[in-house]
Amino acid sequence: MSDQTLVMPEQPSPSTATPELEEANIMFNEVWVDLESSYGRANLRFPREIFWLNGAPGSGKGTHTHFMMQERGFTAGPIVMSDLCQSPEAQRRKDAGFLVDDREVIGLVFRALLEPQYASGVVFDGFPRSAPQVECLRLLFKKMDELHREYAATEEANFFPKPNFHIWVLDIDAPESVKRQLFRGKQVESWNHEVAKTGVGEAKELRKTDVDADAAHGRYSVFKTTTCESLLGLETDARFCYHLIDAHGTIKEVQGRIYDAMA
């Protein structure tokens, strides 16, 4: 379901599945088996509603996340992917010289969603970002639907609602993205200068993309060619509500568009 009439895409058969999709299936199944072993199948209780949020650099995800939560009545969260990758488990991998790969990301995502404070609903900032992650999101929807049907006639039915996924993409063009990234850099520099002068507060991270226009443009290009390309298949999948939001303009204008999409 989305803001326009959609057609359910054909799902690839096992004989035509790409190596990438096959790898995602293997990865998902490994994570799911681990979840059932760790929690027990009856305790795989995911949020009633999940807002999967992505956005171009400078599109205002942090700002609009809280508006979404307030309008939807979500009382906990958001879950931020970059924060999860700073978890002790992920940090141990990085300290050992390993990358936090897609399998690790999937495990972190699913475990975070099982935290009971997110039962009524949650905004998940920064997932999915790659084609394997998109496929794992589809597989999660399928597993949640299986759990919903399995427990529908039991006393635990309320813990296994029919999955309700909203895909949100906040979009701006390249010049606006670069302008906003560099503006953030100036704000961070000013803040850090005051911290150094007064000793009050903590310095904020100043990224290369905050001060270098070429780096900022490169970050935007990665979002467009990697994240946006990966999300395109979800736009035409009738199981999901897909919302592409024009994030140009004032905060109030953008929030008006988000509000309309929620209606």
Concatenate the DSSP letters of all residues of 31-88 into one string: HHHHHHHHH-GGG----S-EEEEEE-TTS-HHHHHHHHHHHHT--S--EEHHHHTTSH
CB 42 within 8 A of CB 155: no
48 pLDDT above the threshold of 90: yes
- The average confidence (pLDDT) of the chain is 88
Mean pLDDT of 196-215: 92
Identify the pLDDT of residue 3: 47
Q: Phi/psi of residue 134, each to 5°? A: -60, -45
- How far, CA to CA in Å, does 55 sit from each of 200, 236, 247, 250? 32, 18, 9, 16
Mean pLDDT of 137-141: 96
Alpha-carbon distance of 259 to 205, in angstroms, equals: 32
4 pLDDT above the threshold of 50: no
Count of beta carbons in the 10 Å neighbourhood of residue 46? 22
CB 224 within 8 A of CB 230: no
Mean pLDDT of 232-261: 94
Q: Is 204 helix (H, G, I), strand (E, B) or coil?
A: coil
55 pLDDT above the threshold of 60: yes
| Amino acid sitting at position 27 | M
Identify the pLDDT of residue 100: 60
Selecting from 3.40.50.300, 2.60.40.2480, 3.40.50.720, 3.40.50.2000, what CATH number does the domain 19-262 have? 3.40.50.300
Q: Where are the domains of the chain?
A: 19-262
